[in-house]
Structure 1
């Protein structure tokens, strides 16, 4: 059983930092490569670039909750939700 998890390509869990602008402020988000793959797939499906999608998501959370706590964790959970829905363009979404 652990072979499924142990045999993962190390490139998928390599951390990648991307710089984006949220509400006019430059920031960096550090996620594992596989999460970026899922986010890139969501953005593409929505007809947006990944930075545009992240900005829109950030704005919607601000409007709904009044603040965005731990945006990187929110993004990881969004990816898990997307994978559970089975509609991600990421290569490991299955």
Structure 2
């Protein structure tokens, strides 16, 4: 349904406490397998990486080194490492939602 030239959507991403600060890009120096580099990601992705690192009891740099090493070993590398990191973060969030939905289904 279009109103005023815009499509009306059912789920408004800006509803209830949306924090525009999470979209702010933040550059951090990280070490990837011994090499120092700068990675620029939005704050929300740094938050997710911190969560993944905590779950794996390692630092964010260690986590990113693992991702870098594995993408080289398994796929011969990647042209856009920042993009890969964003995808890793989204997959982590989606897996968490799927696990929560599965647990809810089992509890019923």
What TM-score do you get using the length of structure 1 for normalisation? 0.82
Unaligned runs of 5+ in 1: 88-94
Q: Which whole-Å CA distance do the structure 2 matches of 1:24 and 1:47 have between them?
A: 19
Equivalent in the alignment of 2:13: 5
Shift of 1:24: 2.5
**Which has the bigger relative contact order, CA under 8 A and spacing at least 6?**
1
- Of structures 1 and 2, the larger Rg is shown by 2
1:1-94 equivalent positions in 2, closer than 5 A? 1=9, 4-7=12-15, 8-86=18-96
**What is the SS of the residue equivalent to 1:84?**
helix
Question: Where has structure 1 moved over 6 Å in runs of 4 or more?
Answer: none
Gaps of 5+ in 2: 1-8, 98-108
